[in-house]
Amino acid sequence: MTDRRQFLKGGALACASALAPSAAAQPPAPAGPRPARSPKARMTLTYKPFTTSLRHVFTIATSSRTTTPGMLTEIAYDGVVGYGEASMPPYLGETQESCAAFLAKVDLSRHSNPFELETILADIDRIAPGNPAAKAAVDIALHDLVGKLMNQPWYNIWGYNPAKTPYTSFTIGIDTPDVVRQKVREAAEYKVLKVKLGRENDHEMIETIRSVTDKPLTADANQGWKDRQKALDEIVWLKERNVQFVEQPFSKEAPLEDFAWLTERSPLPIMADEMCQRLSDVRRLYGAVSGINIKLMKSTGMREAHKMLVLARSLGMKVMLGCMVETSCAISAASHLSPMVEWADLDGALLISNDPFVGTTVVDGKVTVTDRPGLGVALRA
């Protein structure tokens, strides 16, 4: 991360070009693209492993951990640097080694125009199957670069109103009642809490939280439920306790018919998470679930996440935006889509103690984007 001066210089140049008056009595030039690039400019990708440290041990239905392996990326082009990130929770199968091996195969020098996002990212997708977080690390850095070259934040490029960002939920992991109560008190700022279910103590978790607060909850079973009638009974019980929706009730391998059965009868929306990775999953899941949870580390980044959002909404499906434990880089990237979703679960950077970036934050529980170009992130001073 040596390009802070370059980053600042890039920002200053963009600002100067936007504000320089062309002549007296003329209206100021609009904030437009930066000046034309040098024809010889080429993109270069660099990357380094980065491990996020969690503030608390984090437990879901299938695992516990205190760190999350990741990779930070930069794409430099003619004096401008875009930042990206991969986050790779161990249970998803990618590692810092697999990510570095994938990134070593990325050759951006084959592309002279960074604005050709479709071509470049399709090329990267074809390098190897899988590797969604590694692909996202390139996609996010490229989006940051392109936004900076255009001197616009991505919500403007996509045409979304930054005032319409949602509240984010704050996740309460599975834990002992004392720790859960403590975490709920610490989360006073958040308007919605997300509860991890799918173990034997589901009712204890909910009742413990309800002993401290009556704010709305969302529930994530993380594939932990097996029986569809029991799941339905559970959902009815959750609805009576002001839970708003249930994420991934059954295994992603369970028959779609089980999800359709539950969705048809459930008084709460059923959201697909682990079973909804990429664009092709949206059409497959249409009719079987109420909506989808989009995460950049599953979708291979912002480009495909945006397509999933547009497709799901056009099909009348609900959309939520989720994250892994990740830095403010990937959280900021996702936040530019958030004005268009029903629910956001973008608390990943709030769970870590070594965030190298500043960018999108949470203010009074609401996802709050910056007006800086690209992702709107900067290296923490």
Q: Which residues of the shown chain bind Mg ion in the complex (CB under 5 A)?
A: 220, 247, 273
CB of 323 to Mg ion, least distance (A): 10
CB of 340 to Mg ion, least distance (A): 19
SS (H, E, C) 216-238: CEEEECCCCCCCHHHHHHHHHHH
- Measured distance CA(26)–CA(31) in Å, rounded: 15
Q: Which is nearer to Mg ion, 43 or 349 (CB)?
A: 349
Q: Please give the DSSP secondary-structure letter assigned to residue 36.
A: P
How many Cα atoms occupy the beta-carbon half-sphere of 69 within 13 Å? 17
- Measured distance CA(315)–CA(338) in Å, rounded: 18
Q: Which is nearer to Mg ion, 247 or 347 (CB)?
A: 247
Hunting for tokens 């960018």 — which residue is that?
Answer: 359
Q: Which is nearer to Mg ion, 273 or 347 (CB)?
A: 273
Q: Which is nearer to Mg ion, 76 or 296 (CB)?
A: 296
Instruction: Quote the Cα angle for 189-191-192, to 5°.
Output: 120
CB of 261 to Mg ion, least distance (A): 20
Strand order in the sheet with 64-77: 44-59, 64-77, 80-87
- Measured distance CA(335)–CA(314) in Å, rounded: 20
How many C-beta atoms lie closer than 10 Å to residue 330's C-beta?
35
One-letter amino acid identity for 103?
L
Q: Give me the count of residues in the chain.
A: 381
Q: Are 272 and 293 spatial neighbours (Cβ–Cβ below 8 Å)? A: yes
- Measured distance CA(296)–CA(154) in Å, rounded: 15
CB of 247 to Mg ion, least distance (A): 4
CB of 36 to Mg ion, least distance (A): 44
Residues 6+ apart with CB under 8 A from 157: 147, 150
CB of 189 to Mg ion, least distance (A): 22
CB of 241 to Mg ion, least distance (A): 19
CB of 216 to Mg ion, least distance (A): 17
Token digits of residue 26: 């003329």
Q: Which is nearer to Mg ion, 81 or 172 (CB)?
A: 172
Q: Which is nearer to Mg ion, 62 or 176 (CB)?
A: 62
Q: Which among 172, 158, 260 has a CA at the least distance from the CA of 216?
A: 172
Beta bridge partners of 238: none
Residue nearest to Mg ion (CB): 273
CB of 220 to Mg ion, least distance (A): 4
Q: Which is nearer to Mg ion, 92 or 127 (CB)?
A: 92
